[in-house]
């Protein structure tokens, strides 16, 4: 049995532990190190408790909130006591933790793998152009940390093509792209759930939906402007109720809904991550109109594979990794081009047979390439390879 320790901020939320549950049930003895608290701009939150079927979870104290310089208290003692065959860090490789873990693995003949979500180049010239002197200085730090951690990393996993290219260019020896797999037991097509939710919400027409954070980068304002162009069609929009996102952007969205006279077409929902799957079953078209900035572009966009897995037609902006996720099973438009988005929506509403084809193709792609099972198979192959 392969002993694996994962240092995972994502596992702070129990839904993100599924990949480690699969590993733990299939030939691995897994322990996850999870911060006991995380400081968010809205306040301090506690990690979700251990759930049924979770592997061993060790809640740890951390010093410093910035992931790049964060330190786990007693990390060396935990590694010494567990003696893992593999240490798996879910954090960018350019951080102090990666250096510390890499040195421990080298000394103790363990293997070290890292999962990075990075997708913006951090060479000095590009970083200065993107973010000025602050970006330039951060680039120096990231490049130095990578130079120290790279030599001890056996495999580096990325979640997008840009990240794969970046790390290959700075001479990482083994770089492989993986999906951030959705749980296919939750995100799947369930006709009974679809009928139930649609009946409860009185949804009779085409249902268009946005799922995710209420922040400007996600382009909800672009979606609303597109919908204002097709008010003569029969559709309903499902949208989060904003309770967790009381900010200036949520206020802007509310104003825009009123100004564009869309109030009667919007139905608000309040749901946790698992309940979202039921609303995804009830919808027909899911849109993610992300807008890149100088400091950010879409790294992945989890809601899109989840929506595809629930048999939705998907429309995405060409921001970051989104086109990679949908390929030819969804519709893609240029960022900010709400008129093109409106045209895509119009086609899917006007022509149910086209919409149905996109739904089916998206469903097949998601379950074949983007699920937790797909992610597990890649990990399993790589982990067994490096242990041998």
Using an 8 Å Cβ cutoff, are 297 and 119 in contact? yes
Q: What residue spans define the domains of the chain?
A: 2-181+371-387, 191-369
Confidence class for position 242, pLDDT limits 50, 70, 90: low
Question: 177-195: per-residue pLDDT in tens?
Answer: 999 999 999 999 999 999 9
Q: Which residue would you say has higher pLDDT here, 130 or 375? A: 375
176, two tokens: 């492989």
Neighbours of 334 (CB within 10 A): 11
Q: Which of 243 and 312 is assigned the larger pLDDT?
A: 312
Is the confidence at residue 107, as pLDDT, over 80? yes
CATH H-level superfamily of 2-181+371-387: Glycogen Phosphorylase B; (3.40.50.2000)
How do residues 300-357 score in pLDDT, each as one tens digit?
Answer: 999 999 999 999 999 999 999 999 999 999 999 999 999 999 999 999 999 999 999 9
What's the chain's average pLDDT? 95
Give this prediction's pTM.
Answer: 0.94
State yes or no: pLDDT of 228 exceeds 80. Answer: yes
* Per-residue pLDDT, 244: 56
pLDDT of residue 174: 97
Task: Give the pLDDT of residue 284.
Answer: 98
pLDDT band at 272 (very low <50, low <70, confident <90, very high): confident
Give residue 246's pLDDT band: very low, low, confident or very high (50, 70, 90).
low
Q: What does the pLDDT average to over 146-154?
A: 97
pLDDT of residue 245: 57
Which of these CATH numbers, 1.10.10.10, 3.40.50.2000, 3.30.230.10, 3.40.630.30, describes 191-369? 3.40.50.2000
User: What pLDDT band is residue 243 in, cutting at 50, 70 and 90?
Assistant: low
Closest CA to 366 of 333, 340, 329: 329
Please tell me if the domain spanning 2-181+371-387 has the same topology as the one spanning 191-369: yes
What is the model's pLDDT at position 1?
A: 93
């Amino acid at each position: 049995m392969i002993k694996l320790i994962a240092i995972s901020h994502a596992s702070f939320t129990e839904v993100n532990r599924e990949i480690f549950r699969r590993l733990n049930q299939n030939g691995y003895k897994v322990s996850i190190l999870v911060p006991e608290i995380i400081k968010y701009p809205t306040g301090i939150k506690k990690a979700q408790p251990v759930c049924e079927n979770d592997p061993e979870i060790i809640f740890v104290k951390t010093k410093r909130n910035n992931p790049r310089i964060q330190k786990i208290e007693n990390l060396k003692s935990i590694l010494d006591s567990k003696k893992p065959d593999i240490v798996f860090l879910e954090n960018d490789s350019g951080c102090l933790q990666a250096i510390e873990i890499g040195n421990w693995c080298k000394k103790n003949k363990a293997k070290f793998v890292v999962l990075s979500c990075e997708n913006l180049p951090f060479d000095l010239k590009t970083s200065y152009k993107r973010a000025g002197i602050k970006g330039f200085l951060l680039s120096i730090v990231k490049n130095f940390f990578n130079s120290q951690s790279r030599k001890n990393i056996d495999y580096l996993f990325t979640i997008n093509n840009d990240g794969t290219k970046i790390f290959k260019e700075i001479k990482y020896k083994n770089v492989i792209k993986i999906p951030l797999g959705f749980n296919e037991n939750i995100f799947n097509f369930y006709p009974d759930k679809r009928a139930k939710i649609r009946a409860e919400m009185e949804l009779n027409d085409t249902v268009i939906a946005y799922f995710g954070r209420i922040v400007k980068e996600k382009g909800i304002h672009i979606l609303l402007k597109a919908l204002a162009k097709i008010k003569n069609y029969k559709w309903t929009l499902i949208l989060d109720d904003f309770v967790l996102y009381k900010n200036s952007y949520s206020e802007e969205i509310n104003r825009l809904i009123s100004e564009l006279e869309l109030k009667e077409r919007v139905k608000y929902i309040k749901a946790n991550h698992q309940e979202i799957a039921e609303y995804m079953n009830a919808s027909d078209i899911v849109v993610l109109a992300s807008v890149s900035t100088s400091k950010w572009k879409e790294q992945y966009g989890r809601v899109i594979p989840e929506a595809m897995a629930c048999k939705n037609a998907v429309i995405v902006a060409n921001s970051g990794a989104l086109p990679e996720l949908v390929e030819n099973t969804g519709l893609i438009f240029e960022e900010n081009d709400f008129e093109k988005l409106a045209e895509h929506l119009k086609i899917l509403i006007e022509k149910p047979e086209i919409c149905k084809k996109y739904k089916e193709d998206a469903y097949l792609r998601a379950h074949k390439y983007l699920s937790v099972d797909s992610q597990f198979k890649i990990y399993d192959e790589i982990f067994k390879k490096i242990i041998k």
